[in-house]
Amino acid sequence: MSETAPNEEKGNSTPPPEPKAVVRRNRRWSTVWVVPLVALVLAGWLVWQHYSEKGVLVHVRFETAESIVSGKTEIRCRSVRIGVVESVDLSPDLQSVVVDIRVNPENEQLLRDGARFWVVRPRVSPSDVSGLGTLITGSYIELDPGDGTRMVHHFTGLEQPPVTKSSVPGLRLTLVADNPGSLVAGSPIYFRGFEVGRIERRSFDINVRRTILDVFIREQYASLVHENTAFWNTSGIDVSAGAEGFRVRTPSLQAMMAGGASFAVPEGKSPGKQATNGTSYRLYPDEESTRQQDFNPDRKCLVFFDQSIRGLKKGAPVEFRGIPFGRVVEISLRHGTADDKRIPVVIEVDPGILLQNESDARADRDALFAKAVREGLRARLGTGSLLTGALFVDVDFIPDAPPAELTRMGEYQVLPSHSSGLVQLEEKVNAILAKINALPIEDTLQKFGTTADEVTKTVAETRAVVDEAKKLLAAHATQNMTAEVNATLKELRSSVESLGPAGNVQGDLRRTLDELRAALRAFKTLSDTVEEKPNSLIFGREKGADPVPRARK
């Protein structure tokens, strides 16, 4: 109403416009809405606080969920609880399990790239016993923080705990082995018999088809490993037999049970630069192999042998008067010709062994090698071991060798060969065998067989006699024969006693002898009388005078 008054005062015939009501909204907030707003804000804050205090959810994949329990298994880092297992589920491909771990928010910074998870539970192996304390406290999952900068929430857990944590300072190397033997994670690494490290992990590289061993050397011994250091396997008891004879190698008891490896710089070789993390080395099967790693043959030669090479194998040594001169590379008939019945053997040699002074070193090696052949250098087979029959190639100067030259056949130089003493020995043995074959062995064996048959027959008869004797002795009559024999012996003894001095027969014999003796005296008297007076047989004997008794003296 106050806006129409000015138009009426000006006398304008135009009717004034209709007044319009102006609606003004009330902009005042009702206090009623404060309460729900505050409640909403408070609820949001509670929700945020709940999720912020709940922690970070991490997914770790293991092969099995052994010793892992949802809501109970703890997550620890250096024995400090930092979370708990929230759930355990099978993976979609059913090849593993996925463990959901809730990590405390204040420990979220531990989930960096490179972090490792593994289950700590009782483990017993030939090289280590660990986790026995979990028999009482229960198993738990250990976290080894990574050294990366990127936060990660998906991990693949380790089935075996690492020997050393990534935070432990030291030197980490890689060994590549053709045959690692019994080396496993935890096997010790020795330097001159002292343990300086361990093998952390063993894996197989399908691309190179070799075993990869991750090695950890403690920080205080890291300076012992250099660029030219050689590692070799010292596991178990090594018994080998070759051209060098039998060799037995026994490491420490721990290495025998759990395996082990040793390292050193080969004698006569400079150590080189100090090794750094990630350096890869070859693992040799034994210490002897490390000494041969510097062998650098500069040529391959072909040697033809006109005898059996049984016992000569690939890798057999080639020696010059006991000094390593090379090794056998290949034994194959494809290097020969159709009309040549000899056995071709490819060897690789280092003619530098023949160098005796610096002037020889400066000379042409080909010319020096050819000169040595002209002077009688020949290859022949030698016996490395009489027990194993292993052969090696012996290169030496033969004084009476036929003249020969160093020739070439294809890509190989042809080193002349010479019959070894082995051939001569073989000829002698063959001669002995020929003599043995000439012996009438067959007739002798036949006679021996006949004799054996007779002996067998005799033995059978003897056995039958013995059986009959046993039966006879076991008979009742034989058992009573003893009493009869005793009675007979008693009678015989009585008869013999009757013949003795006190026996009746003795007295009868004595009397008979006396009577016989008296008869003889009478016969002698008669014969004397007839001799003196034969007529006495007719007239009788004259009677003499009466005997006069003799006086007593």
The Cα–Cα gap between 486 and 479 comes to 12
* Token couple for 134: 């979990």
Show the CA angle centred on residue 434, arms to residues 383 and 310, nearest 5°. 25
CB atoms within 10 A of CB 121: 18
pLDDT at 217: 92
Question: Are 166 and 216 contacting, i.e. CB atoms less than 8 angstroms apart?
Answer: no
Question: Which residue ranges in the chain fall short of pLDDT 50?
Answer: 1-11
Phi-psi category of residue 200: left, alpha or beta, with phi > 0 → left and psi -120 to 50 → alpha: alpha
CA 279 from centre of chain: 30
**488-534: per-residue pLDDT in tens?**
888 888 877 777 777 777 788 888 889 998 988 888 888 888 888 77
Of 170, 241, 157, 238, nearest to 199 by C-alpha is 170
CA 296 from centre of chain: 31
At a CB cut-off of 8 Å and minimum separation 6, what does 300 contact?
329, 346, 347, 348, 349, 411, 412, 413
Q: Read off the amino acid at residue 133.
A: G
3-class secondary structure, 236: coil
Element (H, E) at 320: strand 317-320
Question: Are 8 and 2 contacting, i.e. CB atoms less than 8 angstroms apart?
Answer: no
pLDDT at 40: 92
Of 218, 52, 61, 58, nearest to 145 by C-alpha is 58
* Token couple for 145: 């923080």
321 secondary structure, DSSP code: T
Percent helix, strand and coil across the chain, each to the nearest 5: 35, 30, 40
Question: Are 79 and 174 contacting, i.e. CB atoms less than 8 angstroms apart?
Answer: no
**207-217: per-residue pLDDT in tens?**
878 899 989 99
How is the beta sheet containing 56-62 ordered, strand by strand? 116-120, 140-144, 74-77, 80-90, 97-103, 56-62, 154-156
Question: Are 213 and 199 contacting, i.e. CB atoms less than 8 angstroms apart?
Answer: yes
pTM of the complete model: 0.46
pLDDT at 255: 63
